Chain A
Amino acid sequence: MYVSYKWLQEYVDLSGVSPEELAEKITKSGIEVEGVETLNEGISGVVVGYVQEREQHPNADKLNKCLVDIGAEEPVQIICGAANVDKGQKVAVATVGAVLPGNFKIKKAKLRGEESHGMICSLQELGFESKLVAKEFAEGIYNFPQDTEVGLDALEQLHRDDQVLELGLTPNRADCLSMLGVAYEVAAILGREVKLPVSGVETSSEKAADYIQVTVDAKEDNPLYVAKVIKNVKIGPSPLWMQARLTAAGIRPHNNVVDITNYILLEYGQPLHAFDYDRLGSKEILVRRAKDGEEIVTLDDAKRKLTADHLVITNGENPIALAGVMGGANSEVQADTTNVLLESAYFIGGPVRKASKDHGLRSEASARYEKGVDPNRVRAAAERAAQLLAEYADGEVLEGSVEADSLSVEPAVVSVTLEKINRVLGTDLDMKYVEDLFSRLQFETATDNGTIIVTVPTRRGDITIEEDLIEEVGRLFGYDNLASTLPIGSATPGHLTPYQNKRRMVRHYLEGAGLYQAVTYSLTNELKATQYALEKREPVRLAMPMSEDRSVLRLSIIPQLLEILKYNTARQNDSLAVYETGAVFLANGSEELPEEREHLAGAVTGLWQSHLWQGEKKPVDFFVVKGILEGLFEKLGVTSAVEFRQSEKEGMHPGRTAEIYLSGTSVGFIGQTHPTVEKEYDLKETYVFELSLKAILEADVPPLQYVAIPRFPSITRDIALVVDKEKAAGELESIIKEAGGTLLKEVHVFDLYEGERMDEGKKSIAFSLKYFDPERTLTDEEVVKAHDKVLDAVKEKAGAVLRG
């Protein structure tokens, strides 16, 4: 809502409060003023001139040579390019020395050999928005009414010596979609009176009821319809002050009749519509729901197909307006209109919103109906409009109104205790103060033993419960005046859950290991959603996606991480490691919410280590990434429950992929992406992993317990085993551990040889075995005995031969 400061002054005394101060006060008490615009800012030296003579410029087809009286001693010669300039017009002249918006200074000039002492201006050149300039002046210079005095300040004549406050209204404050509503608000803030406009007009002896009959079928959608008839109007421009107010509010002037309806819409917040009475095609108004397939051509010349969701005004047969949204072209007020049917109606928001949405048609009227208008202003607005039509369109107002009224309006009565007000706000206000605040709002109050009973005017439909009253008190008291306290009451221990705690550890660990945390979108396309899913399921689909690329919820994070690697590689960062923790979504049937599982995924590409001046460059490989995960499992205390098993997976290198098992259940995988994928993403060798974070964080881990440092020496035995190439080191390690018994405390691989000195299809793996007993020093015999068991077992179970 744009509010003219000068206009507002008609309803509230604003003396001593500048527009900027007013803006600050309004903002602090509840309605954000998003800006204050000075309409004549940066403009000076523009006066009203009279074009005495106009002739074609001798040297230019498209220029006019004008002699213009600007109220100075002598008329001045001005060269003007506007096609519509002519002798006898009153125009806006930027005189020599004038300044126009954009710091455009007017100087004496010579145009094609002819002197020009100023410029005749269009409204756009005077800072008007193009869309707000009346159509007849949209393409050229502006003409003042003939009775405008020459030499006066043109911007003052245009009522542009004004400032406009732009209110950012929240949906609950529809009451401030009118000047009167703003006036009540400002009056409450300033503690001043509201001066209401005075209506009243002499009516003719003819009765409106003899001209029109009103029937409302859709009473629920339209509880009150008021029609008035005004005869013999003379269509012409509305007065400049009215045009100026409309323009300031963002509405383009048309003609006096239309402008008056818009003026009342702004003043009362009540949309009005003027029909050309003689174009109705009947003497009847019937308000009903549209029939499916029925059509109407609206004022914007668009043909609109209607359904039974839409409410229409008809002439008994055919639609003549889309109720509350826009009038029909067939009954539009035109230059030759003489008799007007004025509609002031109370439409319910629902059907208006539906029509507005279905037709993509938002009007000043629909915006107000959608949020709710004040039922008590319907008649007053019609009376005031009739008065203005008599005054500014020479209309003859017929006696009475024709109404269809099924409306019952009772103002809401809401009460609240003083104790509750103070308890919620944390204040210590007394009853008198609270009563006074409500009287500033012009709410009627009564008190009863600590309770204040408030009768809420119908203009404030947003106030229905006691909290709404508390808010009114709070905002007018001023939140700046509230003290600052902290909640009192029983202490609550603040903490992270073990899961949240571990997840933070996982992040810190991975970042310490060199991975950047990434955050990506949950929505992706079908292929990416499922490509690396741990579990094959149908993805969850949006009902109405905005694009294919954001149409389903991910089942895996890896594709998005690959996308990040691709993006960075293309920008000369081809060595990078990233990880993400986040939900993946597993569909659960359409009625149920999908299962959301938190995953941990990582992707590493390019060089893992490089120390360039030392000539060191090590690309990432499987074991780098596996090592990172092993370190993580160690931190989580699940190492002994984890197993890596060779496996194959779509999109992964068939020989370099492992499925990860936790206590025998698959929880994820690790490996190199398939070279075709690497090619697709323009990546070097890339390794990825994805795990169910939930599974690894919620694994059963025994409570932390100290293990004593061994006091007795350990004995180490190394063995090199020759086995088939396919034999997995992990399998050998398991056999060794099992056979070694309780004395064997540590086993690790320390060498792998697959070179030419081996027989075809064989390899040698060397293990280091550490034996000890925490209670005593082991004897040689004991170690030999245990070690022999190990050797027997690997021979027997893995066909291993001890390498000489």
Chain B
Amino acid sequence: MQERLKELQTEALEKVSQSANLKELNDIRVSYLGKKGPITEVLKGMGKLSAEERPMMGALANEVRDAITSGIEEKQKHLEEAAVHEKLAAETIDVTLPGRPVKTGNHHPLTRIIEEIEDLFIGMGYTVAEGPEVEKDYYNFEALNLPKDHPARDMQDSFYITEETLLRTQTSPVQARTMEKHDGKGPVKIICPGKVFRRDNDDATHSHQFMQIEGLVVGENIRMTDLKGTLEVFAKKLFGEDREIRMRPSFFPFTEPSVEVDVSCFKCGGKGCNICKKTGWIEILGSGMVHPNVLEMSGFDSKKYSGFAFGMGVERIAMLKYGVEDIRHFYTNDVRFLNNFQVHE
């Protein structure tokens, strides 16, 4: 009997090791360990054994059972692992295939520039002021020291709607309106972005509609050096830390003194290249100290208050910064153009 049990163990373990899948393994389990299996058969003969032999044989039978059971379990684990492996191997994908596209749009480049400038000035304590695109002649011109007979406001250059209303030619009327609302009390610190209109035929460098962004600070003791410092911060933020600015005297009816501001060329660093037309400098904006007439007309005492203002064409900034060659691209909205501005800097 003892031998028979040993034989069964060897035989079962042999079959276990040869089994190829879980079903075969289960069959082995049932056939050897089941109620009708050979071990049970063998144990039925226990009655013939002596009282001393019985426990010994019982123990041996259990030993054999355990050996077979653990053999099966071990094999089962092995087979299961193999099955998993096989399944995973079959599930292999080509990870180099393209992913499901998440289609996103993006900011128009003009908005991108405007928001960058807005954020810079908000950080310096400015608020963003907006105003109507159809303006009164008064705010667009008169309040800005451009009286009715001034050559700079020729009918030819503006889109008039009636004699007294027109499409604004600059965002400066927002400054006039804001100052007026302040009721002669400073400080005023605003940045004004918006669309403006000029009577131009559209070509690579002209557009009858374009964007401007202007800034205005009015307070007690606002100095020209403050203008210079502020514009330096601006130029460095927009065009790079290494940039310098240069102020050249100029003329605008609403500022006195007036200056045009150049930034050192961000392409060649000032050595001279195509972008800066070999001068090392690129003109980016006009500015100056607010003309006393403008202050007075908007209700500020020009003896007590002073201020500075600056303004620039957003398209020009974008064209310079991104190397865009034709202003019309901004208004054609070719998706191949717009897609250039996906990257977040």
Interface secondary structure of B, over-half rule: mixed
Contact call A32/B104, Cβ cutoff below 8 A: no
Q: How large is the interface on A (under 10, 10 to 19, 20 to 34, 35 or more residues)?
A: 35 or more
- Which A residues are in CB contact (< 8 Å) with B132? 583, 593, 596
Which residues of chain B come closer than 8 Å to A492, judged between CB atoms?
125-127, 187, 189
Nearest-neighbor residue (CB-CB) of B160 within chain A: A543
Taking CB as reference atom, which chain B residue is nearest A168?
Answer: B250
Q: Enumerate chain B residues within 8 angstroms of A484, measured Cβ to Cβ.
A: 225, 228-229, 232
Interface segment, one of A169-177, A448-456, A718-726: A169-177
Once A467-B289, A593-B165, A596-B133 are accepted as A-B contacts, the answer to whether A370 and B151 lie under 8 Å apart by CB is yes
Select which of B118, B160, B250, B330 is within 8 A of A30 by beta carbon: B250
How many residues in B have their beta carbons less than 8 Å from beta carbons of A? 86
Q: Contact at A593–B134, with CB atoms within 8 Å?
A: yes
Are B221 and A489 in contact (CB-based, < 8 A)? Answer: yes
Check A512–B221 contact: CB distance below 8 A: no
| Stretch of A240-248, A518-526, A634-642 contacting B (4+ beta carbons < 8 Å) | A518-526
Query: How many angstroms between the C-alpha atoms of A342 and B256 in the bound complex?
Result: 40
| CB closest chain-B residue, reference A579 | B105
B334:A571 contact, CB within 8 angstroms: yes
Stretch from A382-390, A420-428, A529-537, A698-706 forming part of the interface with B: A420-428
Interface presence of B322 (CB below 8 A): no
Q: Are A426 and B105 in contact (CB under 8 A)?
A: no
Closest residue of chain B to A602 (Cβ to Cβ) is B105
Given A514-B104, A542-B159, are A583 and B259 also a contact pair (CB < 8 Å)? no
- CB of A467 within 8 A of CB of B256, answer yes
A543 to B259, CA, bound (A): 34
Residues of A near B208 (CB, < 8 A) are 521, 523, 546, 550
Q: A489-B220, A540-B161 are in contact. Are A546 and B199 (CB under 8 A)?
A: yes
B75 in the interface (beta carbon within 8 A): no
Contact with A along B79-115 (1 / 0, CB 8 A): 0000000000000000001101101111110110001
Asked if B316 is at the interface (CB within 8 A of a chain A CB), the reply is: no
Quick check: is B20 within 8 A (CB to CB) of the other chain? no
Q: Tell me whether B56 is interfacial, beta carbon within 8 Å.
A: no
Cα–Cα distance between A550 and B226 once the two chains are bound (Å) = 41
> Does B170 reach chain A (CB closer than 8 Å)?
no
* B266 contacts A by Cβ under 8 Å: no
- The complex places the Cα of A489 from the Cα of B124 at a distance, in Å, of 13
Check B161–A542 contact: CB distance below 8 A: yes
A594 to B162, CA, bound (A): 11
Specify which of A32, A353, A504, A516 is in contact with B335 (CB 8 Å cutoff). Answer: A516
Chain A residue numbers with a CB within 8 Å of B6 are none
Interfacial chain A residues near B333, Cβ < 8 Å: 516, 518-520, 564, 567-568, 578
A114 on interface, CB distance cutoff 8 Å: no
Assembly CA distance A773 to B150 (angstroms): 73
Binding-face segment, B7-15, B40-48, B241-249 = B241-249
A541 and B226: CB pair below 8 A?
no
**Contact indicator per residue, chain A 483-496, by CB within 8 Å of chain B (1) or not (0):** 11111111111111
A426 touches which one: B149, B186, B209, B225 (CB < 8 A)? Answer: B225
Q: Report the separation of the CA atoms of residues A510 and B195 in the bound assembly, to the nearest whole angstrom.
A: 22
Q: Whose C-beta in chain A lies nearest to the C-beta of B251?
A: A170
Check: A471 CB closer than 8 A to any chain B CB. yes
A38 CB to closest chain B CB (Å) equals 15
Task: Kindly provide the distance from the CB of B66 to the nearest chain A CB, expressed in whole angstroms.
Answer: 47
Q: For A471, what are the chain B residues with a Cβ–Cβ distance below 8 Å? A: 249, 256-258
Q: Is A474 an interface residue (CB 8 A)?
A: yes
Chain B positions near chain A (C-beta within 8 angstroms):
97-98, 100-101, 103-108, 110-111, 115, 118, 121-128, 130, 132-136, 149, 151-152, 155, 159-162, 164-165, 167, 186-187, 189, 195, 197, 199, 201, 208-209, 211, 217, 219-226, 228-230, 232-233, 246-251, 256-260, 289, 291-292, 306, 330-336, 338
Using A489-B221, A550-B208 as known contacts, list a sample of 15 further A-B pairs with CB atoms less than 8 Å apart, ordered by residue number in A.
A29-B249, A32-B260, A350-B149, A423-B221, A482-B224, A484-B228, A485-B226, A487-B217, A489-B186, A489-B220, A496-B127, A516-B108, A517-B108, A568-B334, A591-B162
List the 8 closest A-B pairs by CB distance, nearest first. A426-B225, A426-B223, A170-B251, A30-B249, A471-B257, A516-B105, A484-B229, A479-B247
Between-chain CB contacts (< 8 Å), 23 pairs:
A467-B289, A467-B292, A474-B257, A475-B257, A480-B246, A485-B223, A485-B229, A486-B233, A492-B189, A496-B127, A513-B105, A514-B104, A516-B105, A519-B330, A520-B333, A521-B208, A521-B209, A522-B197, A523-B159, A523-B197, A544-B155, A576-B335, A596-B134
